[in-house]
Amino acid sequence: MLKIHYSLDQKPADSIRDLEPPKVLNISVRNLVLKTKKGSVLAKGDLVAEHPSPCGGACHAALGGKVKAVNYHSLTVECSGGAETVEPVDVASMGKGSELIRALQELGVDVSPLSGRAEVLVINGLNPEPGVSVAQQLLRDGGEELRAGLDMARKLLSPDRTILAAPKGEAVSIPGAETVGIRAKYPYSLDALVVRAVTRKEFPEHTRVINVMDLFDLGKVALTGLPVTETFMTIDGHNYRVPVGTPVRHILEALELNVEPGDTIVLGGPFRGESIYSLDQGVKKEDYGMFITSSDAIPEVQDAACMNCGECVLQCPARVQPHLISRYAEYERFEEAERYGLNSCFECGLCAFNCFARRPLLQYIRFAKAQIRAKGQGTKA
């Protein structure tokens, strides 16, 4: 059988670039608890929405301006260009404990890997997907923030051992962490597989993992006391600092990128990313790349029937049966989908990428997980 290897060893082409600020932000507020309303005037860093989960980070305005519209999906801010910003929070001097965790969460940090005590802390330093180089860029250029982030994470978790998982052969380090080189091939950048590679155990207890992008954000919050309002994205081979909520249309215009009719724009990466539904869609904190694919290069996914070829089963690193799970998800038989391993799926996207029938397997899986979450009927976190 032909095995295709997907290299994650993408060296950054140059330094991180800044985008010209947009005139409008479209901030995704879907499934968040809105904390502002139409007509409100926001300073840079003002709270926009809270996360409903006990650990999710809050969402803030990346630029100041006036809220012009709010709907189920997004909140539109007409940017004023003003320099007014929120007051910093002195998180650096807080003792470890619930006050610090709460403050970090309010400043936009997802604190799920930072609560409690861990014996092993793993920093995932691999680029998340082929074609994306933000992790290697931040490992190379984000020294101060990464050190501050690691200090904060170690303060909260008191791990006995801290490991930086980096691409094999890369001479990178963060003071306080031992560097372990691992194969820079997709899907080995997925957290569960990184942990297995460095600890030699599957899902070991008392082990936490945080990726380099989140560690950088944590360090920046620790250093500045200001909320997370930007993301780093690989676009057309370069890495950009992008305000959260920047519309895709603005990125295309600012970088003079051409889109032909029929092209698909994906936010995230080629395996796990999601295609946009509108050029006005704003980027989210977790978007680490933007890709334009032509319909000639990759055939469209379709609701075709499964041919039972078994290719998705061979590709699946979670060792579940994607063809069965996705069929149950398609027909909203979620209990059966769970029984066949829905919750063990890492959402790597390899099954969908390799499906000969071009079935949207990952989308069905995400649909099932979202429906189960919404109904509060999941049997496993």
- Return residues touching ligand SF4 (CB under 6 A): 306-312, 315-318, 320, 322-323, 345-351, 355-357, 359, 361-362, 365
For the bound state, the minimum distance from the C-beta of residue 232 to ligand SF4, rounded and expressed in Å, comes to 24
User: Which token pair is 342?
Assistant: 């829905």
Q: Which is nearer to ligand SF4, 209 or 361 (CB)?
A: 361
Q: Are strands 230-235 and 289-293 parallel, antiparallel or unpaired?
A: parallel
For the bound state, the minimum distance from the C-beta of residue 181 to ligand SF4, rounded and expressed in Å, comes to 24
Q: Which is nearer to ligand SF4, 127 or 239 (CB)?
A: 127
Rounded to whole angstroms, how far apart are CA atoms 275 and 267? 6
Q: Which is nearer to ligand SF4, 139 or 361 (CB)?
A: 361
For the bound state, the minimum distance from the C-beta of residue 187 to ligand SF4, rounded and expressed in Å, comes to 7
Q: Which is nearer to ligand SF4, 50 or 347 (CB)?
A: 347
Q: Do the beta carbons of residue 79 and residue 19 sit within 8 Å?
A: no
Rounded to whole angstroms, how far apart are CA atoms 73 and 26? 9
Q: What are phi and psi of 235, to 5 degrees?
A: -135, 120
For the bound state, the minimum distance from the C-beta of residue 37 to ligand SF4, rounded and expressed in Å, comes to 38
Q: Which is nearer to ligand SF4, 295 or 308 (CB)?
A: 308
For the bound state, the minimum distance from the C-beta of residue 169 to ligand SF4, rounded and expressed in Å, comes to 26
For the bound state, the minimum distance from the C-beta of residue 246 to ligand SF4, rounded and expressed in Å, comes to 28
| Residue among 261, 277, 243 at smallest CA distance from 25 | 243
Q: What is the DSSP string of 245-290?
A: T-BHHHHHHHTT----TT-EEEES-TTT-EE-S-TTPBP-TT--EE
| Strand order, beta sheet including 47-50 | 33-34, 47-50, 59-60
Q: Which is nearer to ligand SF4, 267 or 318 (CB)?
A: 318
Quote the distance between the C-alpha of residue 121 and its chain's center.
19
Helix, strand, or coil here: 18?
A: strand
- Alpha helix (H) residue ranges in the chain: 98-106, 134-141, 143-157, 191-199, 212-224, 248-254, 311-315, 322-330, 334-339, 350-354, 361-375
For the bound state, the minimum distance from the C-beta of residue 195 to ligand SF4, rounded and expressed in Å, comes to 15
Q: Which is nearer to ligand SF4, 200 or 319 (CB)?
A: 319
